[in-house]
Structure 1
Amino acid sequence: MDTGREPVRVVIVDDDQLVRMALRLVIDGEPDLTVVAEAADGDAAITVVDEQRPDVVLMDVRMPRRDGLSATRELLTRPAPPGVLMLTTFDSDDLVLGSLRAGALGFVLKDTQPARILDAVRTVAEGNPVLSPAATARVIAAATGPQSSHTRNASREAARKQLSTLTERERETARAIADGLGNPEIAQRLHISIATVKAHVGNLFAKLALENRVQIALLVRDAED
């Protein structure tokens, strides 16, 4: 792929050297992508991201010393943070959920086909979330899994209070986002133009103080739990 633009700068963070090597080989094989640094834990990730200022960070979830969730939270407090794409084997759903709530733009499974990982990196580089319907369903299932009654009720009430500030059309748009629909599908479902969908999505970000569609989806699920 030759876009005529500077390559997307990527940092790979994973405690498994073989995983880092494999991802580097895949990413550096693309003319529009380049790996500028690697890190083996969250502390090192923060250091290299501050040094390299990448566009995208592929962040492992479970790592020694400092996990991906903690590192992601710190990185996303930066004035111009990179897009964070979480790497998981899905034995750590709680950390993935925490990362998404903190503002990570999405996640990929470590056994995902290389072409799909590359597509995910490009999508996050453009500031868009990676919402594979199948993987999203697994995250949502984890989000609505067993919790204490008190915790579930508190989360539900907080989410419903946030959603109560929305218009009916905005709530319908949020519901469609939670179902994994893109803007064209939302426009078709609600019988409105794509431009109107974009306006509703912009209102959702502003009113709910959220940064991406994953966070909207999780908020809707919290309200319905």
Structure 2
Amino acid sequence: MYRIILVSESESFVKTLGIKLSEIGYSWLSFDEMKSDEHIQGSFIVILDIQSFQMTFHELGEFLKEYPYPVLVLSVIPTFEEGYPLLRMGVKGYANRHIGSVNLQSALSVLESGGSWFDPGFMNDLIRHIDYRGVPSESGEELFEILSEREREIARYIAQGLSNHQIADVLEITERTVKAHLLSCYKKLGLNDRVSLALWVKEAGYV
């Protein structure tokens, strides 16, 4: 399992999030602890509290180059204006600073597997801001038809901004099953993560 590096200037936030991480089975250390140990090794995910750890986008870009780990950015109010530049810089996750334990576990699990996880509200904003053709191409129709009925159903929910947990509740299946269907969708459509799947479905007009 990945270890978590918490990057925040707020001691109370680190304490609160640290408790959540421990509850869902993750070990963690602060950014200062990581920097002070030159011999630290392993697989890491960085959780960056963007409000307290003041950085310009340029400084964040340099940070991502220096620490090439999957990064989950937490914000008080996730917005398109803040989140879209982060997405373009390669940030793999973007969520509310007060993210609950269930969604936090889901986000970290997705990042561990090499995918991306974004706040559902941000996903909806992202989809609305993209200029789509609205009419699927013939090849798009053919591609969508290679998905099973359940895979198409899940793909539409992803495009609507639902999390794996929410989809599992709606369809009355397990999150593990949702994840398996998503991996199958990515493979069949030649995509990499839920963001590209959501945009593909929306562009093809299947929402």
TM over 0.5: yes
When residues 92 and 105 of structure 1 are mapped into structure 2, their CA distance, relative to the original with a 3 A threshold, is same
Contact 1:159–1:223 at 8 Å: present in 2 too? yes
Distance 1:27 1:153 in 2: 38
Matched, 1:173 2:151: no
Deviations 1:119-153 (A, max 9, x none): 4443333336656xxx41343124313x6xxxx25
Contact 1:144–1:222 at 8 Å: present in 2 too? no
Distance 1:193 1:222 in 2: 28
**Which ranges of structure 1 fall in alignment gaps of 5 or more residues?**
1-5
Matched pairs, number:
187
Distance 1:181 1:91 in 2: 16
When residues 137 and 123 of structure 1 are mapped into structure 2, their CA distance, relative to the original with a 3 A threshold, is closer
1:109 deviation in Å?
A: 1.7
Q: Secondary structure at the match of 1:210?
A: coil
1:200 deviation in Å?
A: 3.8
Question: Match for residue 141 of structure 1?
Answer: 125
1:157 deviation in Å?
A: 7.8
Question: Match for residue 93 of structure 1?
Answer: 80
> How do residues 22-171 of structure 1 correspond to structure 2 at under 5 angstroms?
22-29=12-19, 30=22, 32-38=25-31, 53-60=42-49, 63-64=55-56, 66=58, 68=60, 81-82=69-70, 84-90=71-77, 92-97=79-84, 99-100=86-87, 104-110=91-97, 112=98, 116=100, 118-127=101-110, 135-145=119-129, 152-153=131-132, 164-166=142-144, 167=146, 169=149, 170-171=151-152
Distance 1:175 1:139 in 2: 13
Instruction: Provide the alpha-carbon RMSD of the alignment.
Output: 4.7
Distance 1:186 1:126 in 2: 20
Q: Secondary structure at the match of 2:30?
A: strand
Q: Secondary structure at the match of 1:143?
A: helix
**Which ranges of structure 2 fall in alignment gaps of 5 or more residues?**
none
